[in-house]
Amino acid sequence: MSQLPVVEIRRREEFCAAHRLHAPNLSDGENLALYGPCNTLHGHNYSVEATVRGPVEPGTGMVMNLTDLMRLLQELLIGEVDHKYLNTDVPFLADVIPTAENLAVAFWNRLQPQIETFKGCQLTRIRLYESQNNVAEYCGLTTP
């Protein structure tokens, strides 16, 4: 069997949501000192990018159909978080401080099992833009 090129594809979706950063184990004063203005309720225009790696199937010329990736992002992520208050309104973010880092990890955990159902495909990166300049990326690494 001839070797197939392995390519990464990426889909980007956008959502708007409100949050505040507040660590439950800290006092109100400590939270204000740590998070500053982010301790107050505010919102972001977020973007999320999911990168999927897999072989280019000769019969279709695709790794996976980007329409399927778009649908997964919409159903599993955007539909759950768009125009929501992330601290209280999203079941899969319960007990999560909604930083960009934690959102990237939570999105990965939700999306990754579904990507694996597509032949040869693996999720390699979630990139979460809180703003144009503030970005968190997760690629599945954990501490030893």
C-alpha span between 2 and 44 (Å, rounded): 47
C-alpha span between 88 and 86 (Å, rounded): 6
Residue 39 CA, distance from chain mean position:
22
Minimum CB separation of residue 38 from Ni ion in Å reads 5
Verify whether residue 139 is a known catalytic residue: no
End-to-end CA distance of the chain: 37
Binding string, 57-96, against Ni ion, x = CB under 5 A? ----------------------------------------
Q: Which residue is catalytic, options 16, 30, 57, 83?
A: 83
Binding string, 32-61, against Ni ion, x = CB under 5 A? ------x-----------------------
Q: What H or E segment, with its residue span, contains residue 108?
A: helix 100-115
Choice between 38 and 136, CB closer to Ni ion: 38
Tell me which residues touch Ni ion (CB under 5 A).
38
